[in-house]
Amino acid sequence: MSPVITYSRNVFVPLTFVCRNICGYCIFRRPPGEGCVLSPDEVIRVLRRGAEAGCTEALFTFGEHPEEVAGFMPFLEQYGFGSILEYCHAMAEEALRLGLLPHTNAGIMTADEMSYLADVNASMGLMLETTADIPAHRNCPGKEPARRIAMIEDAGRLKIPFTTGILLGIGETRSDRRESLEVIAGLHRKYGHIQEIIIQNFCPKPGTDMSAFPGATLRDMQETVRMAKEILPSDIAIQIPPNLADAAQILPCGVTDLGGISPVTIDYVNPEHPWPAFDELAALTKGYTLKERLCIYPEYIRRGWYHPRLRDCIISLENTIHMRGTSVIPAKPLYEGKAKSVYASENPDELIVVFRNDMTAFNGVKHDQFTDKGRLNATASEFFMKMLEAEGIPTHHIRMSAPDTMIVRRLEMIPLEVIVRNVAAGSMTKKYPVKEGMVLDRPVVTIDYKDDERGDPMINDDLIEVLHILTADELRKVKEMALHVNKVLTRFFDECGIRLVDFKLEFGKADGTIYLGDEISMDSMRLWDKKTGESFDKDVYRFDKGDVIAAYRNVLKRIIPDSGV
């Protein structure tokens, strides 16, 4: 079997660039001023983008002890926080709410401060950088080697899964690098808490005191990775940053991890060096098995080295990366709908559909996000697609790659929305003289032309043929399929104590065959309890009838009793 190279899919969240340290090589640090603290709204927006892109880790990084810098506190206090760690804790809670595991790099912290953050962080980190006393750290109280070693040791006592590392080319010698690695190895042998060590090459930045420094050479990196492999216990992953170093030339020296790669945010510490795209990562590791991981390594999950409140998120994300395997979601979608994003796949005949947590109504006028909503709809859609395939109805569903991600057949979508109605409800009662709840004599099929700008107008058979959307035979086939779906679903829901009021379908073509596409979920159906008439669908959200996620879970519990919702 080929050697395994791991990586994490993360979103980088720099809460502030203000820092008490003045390193000779850093461009991350900025003085206090307007926008020096990322607002809560901005943080949540970035976290949502990360969650939607399939990230599993929220990397919180910020300047060390910014409170010590004159003029900083008013910019933090405007958001109601008295310290940067308090703010980090609150934003880490938001990350967890969105299904991301936080990992915090806060610079020097006391044992009490790390303990405070531990209930919302799956792991933490602090670069040792070097054990040497170097000019680059002259104005950096937090870079004193003894203080950094003491914090890494405190993390071990607290059983915090930890990341550390050394920075090459900042004025240290080869013997300094060896000493730094030996210190890290000794701490790990004592506490067993160091998951990974980063071997990072310094990249000179214009405008800094060290802009003329040569930095670390490829040979330096290769030699230090070999040295790390020789010195470190074998259970510590050896990581290099693939955006900074010639990874293909260094991997054979003993690298086992490529760190956090973000599909949505830049490397704020080295902004001039973009992350490799996931397809580039796969090419870079040709000859190796590329495997995704969480920010907390499997061994520490097995040991239970995490706060109980993180358990559900860890389990969910473990399942996500297990199902995703080595397949990756590109950074940019081909198409973004109101509640789903569609991405290209490595297979040109397939697409990747991510069910998002967005919920909209009234053509997007009302818009919110609900934790787990995407997964619930994806679970339902997979269930119904498989059921309909078994009944002879071809669908675009191929497999699930994550709880909220479906691999589907690439279709040429037909710009029609086919609605099947069994009971009068919704727009039908507004347009026609019927009362809500009236059972129709037979199922009624209506078709709308999909065009947001035109308001999805209703379209008749003649127009569909004249506009060359479908031939008469194709239109007849679509209607037959819609009524067949209705027959299967109506019978099934009836057994579950649910009335299928109406639903909408979309279709597409591939190789001359018409397939059922899009989704079949609580978002696309109107469902009522047979006895009470209670809504179990999007109307709960649309008309503020109660907890829409509870309603969706109710449906899944009835249709898939062992779904674990």
Strand 237-239 and strand 439-449: the pairing is: unpaired
Question: What is the reported pLDDT for 331?
Answer: 54
CB atoms within 10 A of CB 463: 13
Boundary-marking domain end, from 283, 307, 324: 324
Rounded to an integer, what distance in angstroms lies between the CA atom of residue 62 and that of residue 48?
19
CA 384, 386, 389, 390 torsion-angle sign: negative
Q: Which residues contact 39 (CB under 8 A, 6 or more apart)?
A: 79
For residues 24 and 210, is the Cβ–Cβ distance under 8 A? yes
Looking at the DSSP assignment, which residues form a beta bridge with residue 368? 359
Examine the domain organization and report whether 381 and 499 are in the same domain: yes
Examine the domain organization and report whether 150 and 250 are in the same domain: yes
Examine the domain organization and report whether 430 and 505 are in the same domain: yes
Tokens 């080869």 label which residue?
174
Closest CA to 160 of 272, 35, 45, 307: 307
Q: Which residues contact 322 (CB under 8 A, 6 or more apart)?
A: none
Examine the domain organization and report whether 275 and 173 are in the same domain: yes
For residues 52 and 356, is the Cβ–Cβ distance under 8 A? yes
Would you report the helix, strand and coil content of the chain in percent, each value rounded to 5?
35, 25, 40
Tokens 């990874």 label which residue?
247
DSSP class of 268: S
Rounded to an integer, what distance in angstroms lies between the CA atom of residue 430 and that of residue 436?
9
Closest CA to 526 of 543, 508, 507: 543
pLDDT along the chain (565 residues), means of 10: 85 90 74 91 94 93 91 95 96 96 96 97 96 87 92 97 95 95 97 96 78 86 97 96 90 95 83 80 85 92 90 86 61 82 86 90 84 89 95 93 84 97 95 95 97 92 97 97 98 97 98 96 96 95 94 94 67
Q: Which two tokens stand for residue 372?
A: 């787990």
- Supply the range of the domain harboring residue 509: 352-559
Examine the domain organization and report whether 306 and 356 are in the same domain: no
Examine the domain organization and report whether 318 and 359 are in the same domain: no
Q: Is 203 annotated as a binding residue?
A: no
Q: Which residues contact 311 (CB under 8 A, 6 or more apart)?
A: none
338 in a structural domain: no
Examine the domain organization and report whether 175 and 299 are in the same domain: yes
Interhelix angle for 174-191 vs 218-231, to 10°? 30
Examine the domain organization and report whether 383 and 475 are in the same domain: yes
201 in a structural domain: yes
Examine the domain organization and report whether 53 and 185 are in the same domain: yes
DSSP class of 386: H
| Cα Rg, the chain, nearest whole Å | 27
Examine the domain organization and report whether 362 and 318 are in the same domain: no
105 in a structural domain: yes
Q: Say if residue 509 is exposed, middle or buried (CB neighbours under 10 Å; 0-12, 13-18, 19+).
A: middle
346 in a structural domain: no
For residues 151 and 117, is the Cβ–Cβ distance under 8 A? no
Examine the domain organization and report whether 283 and 420 are in the same domain: no
Examine the domain organization and report whether 282 and 171 are in the same domain: yes
Rounded to an integer, what distance in angstroms lies between the CA atom of residue 293 and that of residue 95?
18
Boundary-marking domain end, from 287, 304, 324: 324
330 in a structural domain: no
Stated as kind and residue range, the H or E segment containing 367 is: strand 366-369
Closest CA to 7 of 292, 414, 299, 368: 292
For residues 25 and 209, is the Cβ–Cβ distance under 8 A? yes
Rounded to an integer, what distance in angstroms lies between the CA atom of residue 121 and that of residue 140?
26
Q: Is 313 annotated as a binding residue?
A: no
440 in a structural domain: yes
Helix (H, G, I), strand (E, B) or coil at 486: helix
Q: Is 23 annotated as a binding residue?
A: yes
Q: Which residues contact 94 (CB under 8 A, 6 or more apart)?
A: 40, 43, 44, 47
443 in a structural domain: yes
* 478-482, long-range: CB < 8 A, 24+ apart: 478/414, 478/416, 478/418, 478/507, 478/514, 479/418, 479/445, 481/393, 481/505, 481/507, 481/514, 481/516, 482/418, 482/420, 482/445
313 in a structural domain: yes
CATH value at residue 286: 3.20.20.70
CA 93, 97, 103, 104 torsion-angle sign: negative
Question: What is the reported pLDDT for 399?
Answer: 84
Question: What is the reported pLDDT for 371?
Answer: 78
For residues 104 and 121, is the Cβ–Cβ distance under 8 A? yes
Q: Which two tokens stand for residue 496?
A: 């579950």
Q: Which one-letter amino acid corresponds to residue 19?
A: C
Question: What is the reported pLDDT for 327?
Answer: 47
Closest CA to 417 of 465, 362, 365, 455: 455
CATH value at residue 396: 3.30.470.20
Q: Which two tokens stand for residue 119?
A: 């209930």
Boundary-marking domain end, from 274, 306, 324: 324
The structural domain count of the chain equals 2
Q: Say if residue 302 is exposed, middle or buried (CB neighbours under 10 Å; 0-12, 13-18, 19+).
A: exposed
